[in-house]
Structure 1
Amino acid sequence: MAFKNLSLLTICLSLVLSSLSPISIASNNKRDVVPPETLCKSTVYPSYCKTLLANQNGTIFDYGRISVRKSLSQSRKFLNLVNSFLQDRSSFSLPTTRALEDCQFLAQQNFEYLSNALDNVGKASDDLPTTEAEDQQTMLSAALTNQETCLEGLQTTASDERVKSELLSSLSDDTKLHSVSLDLFIKGWVPEKKISTSWQPNGRHLGFRNGRLPLRMSNRVRAIYDSARGHGRKLLQDSSDSVLVNDIVVVSQDGSGNFTTINDAIAAAPNNSASSDGYFLIFVTGGVYQEYVSIAKNKKYLMMVGDGINQTIITGDHNVVDNFTTFNSATFGEQIKYTHIF
């Protein structure tokens, strides 16, 4: 199974970037005015950071806002550049056009992520609540992942050289900028205390116990879940610190479930659900599902559970040889956070 744009990847990337920053700023010193040189030497790209913040004088919050604002501006310019190429798509090969369409989609996501980040840092001059800080950190990390995905698509296709030269140059500079923005955000707004790994009311953290996930659900939902999993594989249920499941549907190729395809089950999930509602669980019984699964960003708080390793398999045959980009050969894609696949 291939994945694109998953939160796990973006969280891992943000952790890698933050681990490269040896200098920590205590919460009670974050409002102190510091020279850019002092702050920039602990970022991933010190020289670029110093150029970005040259002739500035402020706090970590001031510098962070400057960087995120610049990232947003550059994301808009990059999107406009991609759009300008696509207006003349008839002059490009099919692989180039598909790579540009991927970059367009990813650039639109980045503009949304960075707009959201700027709204948040513009209001806060102190640590954000832990879960909110993690959300924003994930979005800024996702912007970097999207840049890399766009870059990969352009490099692995026989793209028109004019497209490559203009877009690759912009991608290189923008990646440095977004990296600095992420680094400064972590230093300014992410609390220093360790983030909890147990499940919280907003649904971001799922707490496994001995390799199993405790779920809380009604008797009706529990009966469907246990029946779908088969005899001897009962639900681990705990009244405290367990994950709330509000509803369930079953996907089965033999027609014994609610749906025969995963995409149909996702379409049936509620739109823009709230964390207090709990998860919408999709149980996928054993079988080989030849489909390309895409989870739209308005499908929030989904949980997808399969029948086990080598039992539930999602596969497809898109590949670069047939003029599909790596991004669009993924059999499983999500545009949102708060989706969990097991």
Structure 2
Amino acid sequence: MMTIPFFLLTFILFFSAAAAAAASASKHGSSQDLIRSSCIHASYPSLCLRTLSSYSGPANTPCELAQAAVKVSLSCAQKVSNYLTTSVTGKSKRERVALNDCVEQISESVDELSKTLGELKHLRGETFEFQMSNAQTWVSAALTNEDTCLDGFEGVDGKVKSDVKRKITTVAKVTSNALYMINRLDESRGRHRLNP
């Protein structure tokens, strides 16, 4: 008599664990499918796939995916901002001016990406279009700041320029991908409104 309940308990626990693992794998698989299908048309598809596939948070819906893309961009911009303020010094006056301007531009990008993330986390049906417009405007402004930073190094040569250019270019690429995901979210919401 004692073996039957123990056997049943073992059986139930085994299949519960197997079902939970299968559900988790299925959810992870659907998340990866969404990432793949979304990244394929992004500005930088391979970078999009690489950064979002390794993203540790949820990315199971277009909204979560847009938030994930903005978080990747924000994290990258914060790292570059920290690098520019702590690890780089310009040798010439021209380099120092360009660096100072760049630090300011990237700091503004960080602020704009933070505001975008806040907006995406609190989307509401009645204000969706207004919020999406804000998000698109802020991410576009962040991209402009990144371009402006690079423009400041026109006429400057050397290691500082190449280091800054490499890092800023990466930030600009992930920011461009984030803008794509936001636009995609806006379009998918528009399609759902037209075809309920």
Same fold (TM > 0.5): yes
- In structure 2, the residue matched to 1:297 is none
- In structure 2, the residue matched to 1:113 is 112
Residue in structure 2 matching 1:157, options 147, 155, 158: 155
- In structure 2, the residue matched to 1:224 is none
- In structure 2, the residue matched to 1:130 is 129
Deviation at 1:132, TM superposition (A): 2.5
AA aligned to 1:95 is: R
Structure 2: how far apart are the matches of 1:166 and 1:52?
21
Which aligned segments of 4 or more residues in structure 1 are displaced greater than 4 angstroms?
A: 125-128
- In structure 1, the residue matched to 2:172 is 175
Structure 1: how far apart are the matches of 2:39 and 2:47?
8
Structure with more contact order per residue of length (Cα contacts < 8 Å, sep ≥ 6)? 2
1:76 corresponds to 2:78: yes
Q: Higher helix share goes to which structure?
A: 2
Question: Matched residue pairs, number?
Answer: 157
- SS for the counterpart of 1:35 is helix
- In the alignment, is the contact (CA less than 8 A) between 1:76 and 1:111 conserved in 2? yes
Deviation at 1:66, TM superposition (A): 1.2
Q: Higher strand share goes to which structure?
A: 1
AA aligned to 1:147 is: E
AA aligned to 1:69 is: K
Structure 2: how far apart are the matches of 1:53 and 1:126?
26
> TM (normalized to structure 1)?
0.42
CA deviations 1:257-310 (Å, max 9, x no partner) are: xxxxxxxxxxxxxxxxxxxxxxxxxxxxxxxxxxxxxxxxxxxxxxxxxxxxxx
AA aligned to 2:155 is: T
- In the alignment, is the contact (CA less than 8 A) between 1:78 and 1:170 conserved in 2? yes
Structure 1: how far apart are the matches of 2:71 and 2:96?
30
Tell me the percent identity. 25
Gap runs ≥5 in structure 1: 1-31, 194-342
- In the alignment, is the contact (CA less than 8 A) between 1:117 and 1:140 conserved in 2? yes
AA aligned to 1:62 is: E
- In structure 2, the residue matched to 1:58 is 60
AA aligned to 2:156 is: A
Q: Structure 1 residues 79 and 111, CA, compared in 2 at 3 Å: closer, same or farther?
A: same
Deviation at 1:99, TM superposition (A): 0.6
> TM (normalized to structure 2)?
0.71
Gap runs ≥5 in structure 2: 1-29, 192-196
